[in-house]
Homo-oligomer: A and B are copies of this chain.
Amino acid sequence: MNTAATPRTIRIHPADNVAVVVNDGGLPAGTALPGGPTLVHAVPQGHKVALADLPAGTAVRRYNVVIGHTAVDIPAGGWVNEQRLVMPGARSFDKLPAPQPPAELPPLTGHTFQGYRNADGSVGTRNLLAITTTVQCVAGVLEFAVERIRQDLLPQYPNVDGVVGLTHSYGCGVAIDAPDAIIPIRTVRNLASNPNFGGEVMVLSLGCEKLQPERLFPAHAIPIQTATDAPAAGAAGPWEVPTVPGRETRGGVAGFGAVCLQDDQHVGFMSMIDSILTQARGHLERLNRRQRETCPASDLVVGVQCGGSDAFSGVTANPAVGFATDLLVRAGATVMFSENTEVRDAVDQLTRRAATQDVADAIVRELAWYDAYLARGQADRSANTTPGNKKGGLSNIVEKAMGSVVKSGNGPIHGVIAPGEKVTQKGLIFAATPASDFICGTLQLAAGMNLHVFTTGRGTPYGLAECPVIKVATRDDLARRWHDLMDINAGRIASGEASIQDVGWELFQRLLDVASGQRTWAEKWGLRNDLVLFNPAPVT
């Protein structure tokens, strides 16, 4: 549909002095743009063309934001790329706009999905047995045990969707008392109570590790009183981790249990496996009794993310996600947007959209902390862009950020959480995380995400074992080639076949379907990436 015969470009905002080439394969020099200049350079797909003469030093505007100044004279019809653009400095945190939030979006009612209601009020979109680990030492044994559970136990519990070992590289060999250690510790803790795990917390520990089970789950850090099939007994005092395999904590309170490999009762490797399987059986019994029920869309906790971005990300997929974000927020759901380095240059937009001054202050607190974290390692936000981003037309992090932040839609920002924290609010939440796909995904899972949206322009086969991931392609070409990996094609927006609203509604409906059990492509193939913790503290 995009042929050389019909050159097509997109200008996001009327004040912009560049537009992006849409056509597959780009456009050759000499192409006359409809209503615009004739190209003086060949311009690749996704790259920017100057709409007017831009003498050296001219502010280049995209999204009506200055994404840089021209380093050389660029004539109208010339190619504007990262070599020809000087990136602006990071916006100061002083004198940011005070909150002037847009009006709350109008409510949207009547949308439901079929979910697993948990005792604490959260809702799962999948029914998974998750096994938390305190330390990587147990990972090999757990892998062996998980395979046994999959083969020997799961067939007896047909309502359970799967078993997931929550393995990670934390727990020992780390400076666990360093100030920043709170981030990985609370991440592991909060992962255990993701809504997709049904309130069942099963812990596998080694015994001698720094991250002791009592430290990971101190009294009331996880909601023992909300266990699925028994009242809380003896809720006072710290939770005692049982060292006897198979026994449950707290005088029979269901939902929690631990196995410790160094327990004296373990004689021989298979005794460890037996303990894990015995413990798992109790959790599986309860999980198997769960039933999907009709839940309002407000029970969704959606994490939005992008990875392998290109210049279309901010034109097609991310605006469509932003539209769906607004629909979700209108329906009363929680939507988290993240990726510190990809919102850093939009900090003024964010503080302006903050619902309250507290929210604005929290946004600045998180971004300033992250600036300092990067500076400690002699890096800054410009470390974000990748070769693929640049090849895809994104000249620098400012341009990338402007295209990334549109996933957050147009409503007020209602809250902020720090890395690894649990989200407790409805509405639009800035979950401050690194932009690394896997760290961001892990932190959104810890925050309580039960559905994940991931946009990509270059293409990535991203998937998680813990939560369905709906992947949105920014370009027709990617959607065509990766037809059995991409769930939604937002490339139709660039080719004019669909509007942002069309794709936004399609995504919204798909979210409800997937929440109800429809499988994503990543689920069909079983594509799963490992959890990656954010540990800004040292290892030892």
Q: Using CB atoms and an 8 Å cutoff, list the residues of chain A in contact with chain B.
A: 136-141, 143-144, 167, 169, 172-180, 206-210, 212, 261-262, 264, 266-269, 272, 307-308, 341, 373-374, 376-379, 381, 383-384, 386-389, 391-392, 434-440, 458-463, 480-485, 521-522, 525-530, 532, 534, 536-540
- What are the residues of chain B within 8 A of A261 when measuring CB–CB? 459, 461
How many whole Å from A33's CB to the nearest CB in chain B? 26
| CB-contact partner of A439 in B438, B528, B539, under 8 A | B539
| CB-contact partner of A532 in B169, B269, B458, B521, under 8 A | B169
Q: Indicate if the CB atoms of B528 and A143 lie closer than 8 Å.
A: yes
Most buried by B among A374, A440, A529: A529
| CB-contact partner of A208 in B140, B167, B308, under 8 A | B308
Provided the pairs A262-B458, A379-B175, A439-B173 are in contact, do residues A208 and B392 lie with their beta carbons within 8 angstroms? yes
Q: Indicate if the CB atoms of B483 and A386 lie closer than 8 Å.
A: no
Provided the pairs A262-B458, A463-B140 are in contact, do residues A209 and B379 lie with their beta carbons within 8 angstroms? no
| CB-contact partner of A538 in B167, B379, B387, B525, under 8 A | B379
Provided the pairs A172-B436, A269-B485 are in contact, do residues A460 and B137 lie with their beta carbons within 8 angstroms? yes
Q: Indicate if the CB atoms of B439 and A527 lie closer than 8 Å.
A: no
How many whole Å from A276's CB to the nearest CB in chain B? 12
Question: How many angstroms between the C-alpha atoms of A381 and B169 in the bound complex?
Answer: 20
Provided the pairs A374-B538, A540-B379 are in contact, do residues A434 and B173 lie with their beta carbons within 8 angstroms? yes
- What are the residues of chain B within 8 A of A167 when measuring CB–CB? 530
- What are the residues of chain B within 8 A of A392 when measuring CB–CB? 208
* New A-B pairs, 18, CB < 8 Å, besides A169-B532, A384-B540: A136-B437, A136-B529, A137-B308, A140-B463, A140-B525, A140-B527, A173-B436, A179-B378, A180-B377, A206-B459, A210-B386, A261-B459, A261-B461, A267-B481, A268-B481, A268-B484, A269-B525, A373-B538
How many whole Å from A475's CB to the nearest CB in chain B? 12
7 closest Cβ contacts across the A-B interface?
Answer: A208-B388, A173-B436, A175-B379, A140-B527, A377-B538, A208-B458, A175-B383
- What are the residues of chain B within 8 A of A308 when measuring CB–CB? 137, 206, 208
How many whole Å from A527's CB to the nearest CB in chain B? 4
- What are the residues of chain B within 8 A of A529 when measuring CB–CB? 136-137, 139-140
Question: How many angstroms between the C-alpha atoms of A529 and B383 in the bound complex?
Answer: 30
Question: How many angstroms between the C-alpha atoms of A409 and B480 in the bound complex?
Answer: 62
Q: Is the contact region of chain A dominated by helix, strand, or loop, or is it mixed? A: loop
Q: What is the chain B residue whose CB lies nearest that of A268? A: B484
Q: Indicate if the CB atoms of B137 and A436 lie closer than 8 Å.
A: no
- What are the residues of chain B within 8 A of A169 when measuring CB–CB? 169, 438, 530, 532
Counting every copy of the chain, the complex holds: 2
Q: Indicate if the CB atoms of B269 and A388 lie closer than 8 Å.
A: no
How many whole Å from A190's CB to the nearest CB in chain B? 19
Some 26 contacts from A to B, beta carbons below 8 A apart, are: A136-B437, A137-B308, A137-B460, A137-B529, A140-B461, A140-B462, A140-B525, A140-B526, A143-B527, A172-B386, A173-B438, A175-B374, A176-B383, A178-B377, A178-B383, A179-B378, A180-B378, A208-B387, A208-B388, A212-B387, A262-B459, A268-B484, A374-B538, A379-B540, A436-B539, A530-B530
Question: How many angstroms between the C-alpha atoms of A341 and B209 in the bound complex?
Answer: 16
| CB-contact partner of A136 in B177, B379, B530, under 8 A | B530
How many whole Å from A284's CB to the nearest CB in chain B? 24
Provided the pairs A383-B178, A461-B138 are in contact, do residues A540 and B207 lie with their beta carbons within 8 angstroms? no
Q: Indicate if the CB atoms of A386 and B208 lie closer than 8 Å.
A: yes
Most buried by B among A143, A172, A526: A172
Question: How many angstroms between the C-alpha atoms of A535 and B540 in the bound complex?
Answer: 12
Q: Indicate if the CB atoms of B178 and A137 lie closer than 8 Å.
A: no
How many whole Å from A482's CB to the nearest CB in chain B? 8
Question: How many angstroms between the C-alpha atoms of A388 and B205 in the bound complex?
Answer: 12
| CB-contact partner of A137 in B383, B437, B484, B540, under 8 A | B437
Question: How many angstroms between the C-alpha atoms of A212 and B387 in the bound complex?
Answer: 8
How many whole Å from A248's CB to the nearest CB in chain B? 23
| CB-contact partner of A540 in B144, B175, B434, B532, under 8 A | B434
Q: Indicate if the CB atoms of B525 and A144 lie closer than 8 Å.
A: yes
| CB-contact partner of A206 in B207, B460, B463, under 8 A | B460
